Amino acid sequence: MKLDKNTKVYIAGCGGMLGRAVYSYFAKRCIVKATDIDLNIDWLEYADVRDYKSMEESINDFQPELIINLAALTDLEFCENNAENSWLTNALGAENIALISKKLGVPMVYISTAGIVDGEQDVYNDFDAPNPLGTYAKSKYHGEVFVKNYLEKFFVFRAGWMMGGGPKKDKKFINKIYQQIKSGQKELFIVDDKLGTPTYTHSFARGIFKVVETDLYGVYNQVCEGDCSRYEVAVELVDLLGLSDDIKITKVSSDYFKEEYFAPRPASEKLINMKLNARGINFMPHWKEALRDYSKEFNTDLQSS
């Protein structure tokens, strides 16, 4: 489908770090209605993916030509401690949106995660069988399966270690490291036994837009090029912030954080964009290039503090 200034795009769960990037990219090019349960910015309207009736009303009022579901609980420890809410948001929410998409006869975009693998392999392509370990991964994978089995016109994009949103919006690894630095810590303890593929929200949003326009429906790994450990990401970030001489980075195993981060995580969740590459529609940069661009937000924040 051709996406232009007259195309109506509904984005559910648009209040998070990915939502900000997706809204920014799509709203410049399409007519967008963005909803969430947390109205943390003025362009959001209220809608809860767990509530089928209100969700259907919100979407029907807009009559979109494309529906994007970003709604998800992504904190792994929160999901383990709040399993029912996790299933209702990540799994039932995806079902609700898919049912509405089918009723309206419009394509749906669902965001899945590299976390659905078990880590027994080193690298996973789009066709490797998932085996989710924890509540977050299981609930997200259920949503993926339902969308695949129920709809004909769908896109599932599997993201890796998400980065984006800056110091105020990023709830993931990059900002956790940055906040330690900003608080004055001179030594960072970073695991080197967890491997993955960073995924920059702005590149991811652009990728969604471009791939949707191809009408090549299906499941896609969509992560930045290259792979790394958490330790390598931290080293790169500290260097980009110009703090390599001031901050010591110490390697530790995951056991070091076993009480704080108790949810099961795969040792490797490295993805490769096999299908995007084969079809010539891979718009993702290398993770180091993406982090270089992203780090500018933190450099600005450091200089202003």
Given a contact cutoff of 8 angstroms between Cβ atoms, the answer to whether 238 and 180 are in contact is no
Answer yes or no: is 1 within a domain: no
The three-class DSSP label of residue 299 is helix
Amino acid (one-letter) located at 199: T
The dihedral region occupied by 280, where left means phi > 0, alpha psi between -120 and 50, and beta the remainder, is left
pLDDT number for residue 305? 66
Answer yes or no: is 184 within a domain: no
Handedness of CA 18, 24, 25, 29 (dihedral sign): positive
Q: Using one digit for the tens of pLDDT, what is the confidence trace for 120-168?
A: 999 999 999 999 999 999 999 999 999 999 999 999 999 999 999 888 8
What is the rounded average pLDDT of the residues 259-263? 91
Answer yes or no: is 301 within a domain: no
Answer yes or no: is 294 within a domain: no
Answer yes or no: is 248 within a domain: no
pLDDT number for residue 31? 98
Given a contact cutoff of 8 angstroms between Cβ atoms, the answer to whether 260 and 111 are in contact is no
Distance of alpha carbon 108 from alpha carbon 155, whole angstroms: 6
Answer yes or no: is 108 within a domain: yes
Q: Using one digit for the tens of pLDDT, what is the confidence trace for 295-304?
A: 999 988 878 7
Q: Using one digit for the tens of pLDDT, what is the confidence trace for 23-35?
A: 999 999 999 999 9
CATH of the domain at 86: 3.40.50.720
pLDDT number for residue 126? 97
Which H/E stretch holds residue 239? helix 230-240
What is the rounded average pLDDT of the residues 1-30? 96
Q: Which of 95, 84, 219 is nearest to 146 (CA)?
A: 95
pLDDT number for residue 99? 97
Distance of alpha carbon 233 from alpha carbon 197, whole angstroms: 10
Q: Using one digit for the tens of pLDDT, what is the confidence trace for 194-221?
A: 999 999 999 999 999 999 999 999 999 9
Distance of alpha carbon 287 from alpha carbon 293, whole angstroms: 10
pLDDT number for residue 179? 92
Given a contact cutoff of 8 angstroms between Cβ atoms, the answer to whether 108 and 79 are in contact is no
Q: How many domains does the chain have?
A: 1
Q: Using one digit for the tens of pLDDT, what is the confidence trace for 64-107?
A: 999 999 999 999 999 999 999 999 999 999 999 999 999 999 99
Distance of alpha carbon 239 from alpha carbon 251, whole angstroms: 16
First-to-last CA distance in the chain? 45
Q: Which of 93, 237, 269 is nearest to 173 (CA)?
A: 237
DSSP 3-53: --TT-EEEEESTTSHHHHHHHHHHHTTSEEEEEESS--STTEEE--TT-HH
The reported pTM is 0.95
The overall average pLDDT reported for the chain is 95
pLDDT number for residue 157? 98
Answer yes or no: is 53 within a domain: yes
User: What percentage of the chain has pLDDT greater than the value 90?
Assistant: 92
**Domain boundaries, position 142:** 8-171+197-227+269-285
pLDDT number for residue 169? 83
Answer yes or no: is 182 within a domain: no
Q: Which of 296, 21, 280, 297 is nearest to 159 (CA)?
A: 21
Amino acid (one-letter) located at 71: A
